[in-house]
Amino acid sequence: MSATAGAPGAGAGGGKAAQAARAERARASAVDRTGLLAGRDLVQVRFGGSGGQGVILMGVILAMAGARDHRFVVQTQSYGPEARGGYSRSDVIISDAQIDYPELEHADLLVALNQASADEYIRVLRSDGVLVYDSENVTAVPPFKGEQFGIPFTRLAFEETGRKQTANILTLGAVAGITGVVTAESLRKAVLVMVPAGTEEINSKALARGLALRDR
């Protein structure tokens, strides 16, 4: 099949040797991933919320962590024109194989930070998927039979760091801890790269608190 060596199809093709090495590294990282979605070779994640909640940043950080696990990732987004308020959504595909179609066909994991995104996006969530939502913002949980976790992320973030803005990082920690879509180590590194300078410490605290939620 001509789809292998050097095919530029999904962004990061390359020679057979390079691909084999990448696959090897990806397998190595897989050992460190445990959780509800850790075993899937293709995971499609949607983050939904309103503008200003850091939804796009969450997608970018998760994608970067996935890349650090040596897997193929694509992150896309959709948002309204407002810088604050309005709708905002960020999608991440993490795969062991090259990703051709860059958008979500359905979601294995939906992270809803407000009521509107829970209501709107529940229809794309597969029945064997996982729903994670902020239990203080999403009060009327849409009907869903699969695994679901309602956690007061914003309140926990405020308790932990004194700043509500760290809720998105805390949520990411919880998501990684519960589902295992990325390794905790890669997520830690990605958070440190992406958060604003000077906020590393509080965001690390928020992340640790989120990761610890898997044990509750």
In angstroms, what is the minimal distance from the CB of 132 to other proteins? 22
How far is 57 from 169, CA to CA, in rounded Å? 9
CB 157 within 8 A of CB 167: yes
Give the number of residues written for the chain: 216
Residue 4: CB minimum distance to other proteins, A:
10
The DSSP call for residue 215 is G
CB of 3 to other proteins, least distance (A): 6
Nearer to other proteins, 77 or 135 (CB): 77
Choosing from 10, 23, 124, 141, the residue that interacts with other proteins (CB under 8 A) is 10
Spatial CA neighbour of 57 closest among 179, 164, 181, 190: 190
Contact status: 75 vs other proteins (CB under 8 A): yes
Residues 77-96 that bind other proteins (CB under 8 A): 77-79, 81
Question: Using the rule CB under 8 A, is 11 a contact of other proteins?
Answer: yes
105 binds other proteins (CB under 8 A): yes
How many Å apart are CA 71 and CA 34, to the nearest integer?
16
Contact 39, 94 (CB under 8 A): no
Q: How many Å separate Cα 130 from the centre of its chain?
A: 12
> Would you count residue 7 as binding other proteins (CB under 8 A)?
yes
5 or 212: CB nearest other proteins: 5
Q: Are 121 and 106 in contact (CB under 8 A)?
A: no
Q: Is residue 15 at the binding interface for other proteins, with CB under 8 A as the rule? A: yes
d(CA 55, CA 149): 18
CB of 73 to other proteins, least distance (A): 5
Which residues, 6 or more positions from 202, have their beta carbon under 8 angstroms from its beta carbon?
161, 162, 163, 166
CA distance 96 to 10: 12
If binding is defined by CB under 8 A, does position 8 make contact with other proteins? yes
Among 20, 28, 42, 193, binds other proteins (CB under 8 A): 193
Rounded Cα distance, 170 and 91, in Å: 18
**Shorter beta-carbon distance to other proteins: residue 79 or 158:** 79
Q: Which of residues 32-71 bind other proteins (CB under 8 A)?
A: 60, 63-64, 66-71
Judged by beta carbon, residue 103 or residue 159, the one nearer other proteins is 103
Binding site for other proteins (CB under 8 A): 1-3, 5-15, 18, 22, 25, 60, 63-64, 66-79, 81, 99-103, 105, 193
